[in-house]
Amino acid sequence: MKFFLSRINNQDGSMILVAMMLLLILTIIGITSTSTTVVENRIAVNDQLHKIAFSNADSGLYATPKLIRAVLREGDPLSSSELNDQITYLSDGGSADGKDGNYFYKHLMGYDTYDGGENDIKYELSGNPVKVDVERISAEHVAGGGVEFASGAEGIGAGGGLVNYGLFSVGGSPRESKAKVYARYRYVLGITGGL
């Protein structure tokens, strides 16, 4: 009987079993926390890429009105401006080199019909493309301007009118993340300054 009681009270292997169970539980906790960290890291990277793409698209909205003003003043800003290295005309109008400011000028003036959403301009921002489609929406006379009261009258919009443009900007970032932004730009004729 003593032999059987000593066998039942023997706990030599129980510590190994408890240690193995604790090791298994800690391994499961470690794997779970690692996978959670990987997922959170991917979320943070995707959020950062989206913010870069949005920032690039937004930059296209700020740069394009300056280009519109330059094109309407000079006809072809690529021939006489610092914008030459930063801009590519995507609407080439059949030109051999793909840069045709005259075609873009006609597009802005409304001589050509709207191209239905094809990108007109391409910028490169830190190696990331920004493409902008410009749509001439309308032209109108400004109330109280020179057209209403007589040529040369002073007041708001003394040049006599304004042109509304719709700007569709698509910005990119590394790993092909993209953001689309839309804005309306109002070009007031005869007023200097502004975008």
- Please tell me the distance from the alpha carbon of residue 42 to that of residue 175, in angstroms, as a whole number: 13
| Closest among 133, 150, 117 to 68, alpha carbons compared | 133
Pick the most confident of 76-90, 94-108, 130-144: 130-144
Bridge partners for 168 per DSSP: 133, 182
Q: Return the number of other C-beta atoms located less than 10 Å from residue 177's C-beta.
A: 20
Listed range (106-110, 129-133, 184-188) with the worst mean pLDDT = 106-110
Would you put residue 194 in left (φ > 0), alpha (ψ -120 to 50) or beta? left
Average pLDDT over residues 6-35: 82
Average pLDDT over residues 92-110: 62
What is the torsion angle, in degrees rounded to the nearest 10, for the CA atoms of residue 63, residue 65, residue 69 and residue 72? 110
Check: CB of residue 92 under 8 Å from CB of residue 83. Answer: no
- Please tell me the distance from the alpha carbon of residue 98 to that of residue 100, in angstroms, as a whole number: 6
pTM greater than 0.75 (yes/no): no
21 contacts: CB under 8 Å, gap ≥ 6: none
76: confidence class by pLDDT, cuts 50, 70, 90? low
User: In the 8-state DSSP scheme, what is residue 144?
Assistant: T
**pLDDT at 44 > cutoff 90:** yes
The pLDDT value recorded for residue 23 is 94
Say which residue, 58 or 88, is predicted with more confidence. 58
Quote the distance between the C-alpha of residue 102 and its chain's center.
26
Say which residue, 131 or 70, is predicted with more confidence. 131
- Please tell me the distance from the alpha carbon of residue 93 to that of residue 100, in angstroms, as a whole number: 7
Check: CB of residue 173 under 8 Å from CB of residue 52. Answer: yes
State which H helix or E strand residue 170 sits in.
Answer: strand 161-172
Domain residue limits, the chain: 14-188
- Please tell me the distance from the alpha carbon of residue 54 to that of residue 172, in angstroms, as a whole number: 8
